[in-house]
Structure 1
Amino acid sequence: MLTLTQDLYEQIVAHARRDHPDEACGVIAGPEGSDRPERFIPMLNAARSPTFYEFDSMDLLALHNGMDDRDEEPVVIYHSHTATEAYPSRRDIDLAMEPNAHYVLVSTAESGADEGPVSFRSFRILDGEVTEEEVVFVASYEM
Structure 2
Amino acid sequence: MLTLDRATYDAIVAHAKRDHPVEACGVVAGPAGSDRAERLVEMVNAAGSPTFYEFDSTDLLQLYRQMDAADEEPVVVYHSHTATEAYPSRTDIGLAMEPGAHYVLVSTREHGNNDGPVEFRSYKIVDGEVTEEEVAVVEHLPTRSTT
So what's the TM-score if we normalise by structure 2?
Answer: 0.97
Deviation at 1:123, TM superposition (A): 0.1
* Aligned position for 2:133: 133
Given the alignment of the two structures, is residue 13 of structure 1 paired with residue 9 of structure 2, yes or no?
no
* Aligned position for 1:30: 30
Given the alignment of the two structures, is residue 99 of structure 1 paired with residue 95 of structure 2, yes or no?
no
1:87-115 per-residue CA deviation (whole Å, 9 max, x = no partner) reads: 00000000000000000000000000111
Letter in 1 for 2:6: Q
Deviation at 1:25, TM superposition (A): 0.1
Tell me the matched-pair count: 143
Identity of aligned pairs, percent? 70
2:4 partner SS = strand
Letter in 2 for 1:104: V
1:1-143 counterparts in 2 under 5 A?
1-143=1-143
1:69 and 1:40 mapped to 2: Cα distance? Answer: 16
1:125 partner SS = strand
1:32 and 1:97 mapped to 2: Cα distance? Answer: 16
Query: Once superposed, what is the RMSD of the aligned Cα atoms?
Result: 0.4
So what's the TM-score if we normalise by structure 1?
Answer: 0.99
**Structure 2 residue runs without a partner (length 5+):** none
Deviation at 1:117, TM superposition (A): 1.3
2:77 and 2:68 mapped to 1: Cα distance? Answer: 16
1:59 and 1:73 mapped to 2: Cα distance? Answer: 15
Q: After the TM superposition, list the runs of 4 or more consecutive aligned residues in structure 1 that deviate by more than 3 angstroms.
A: none
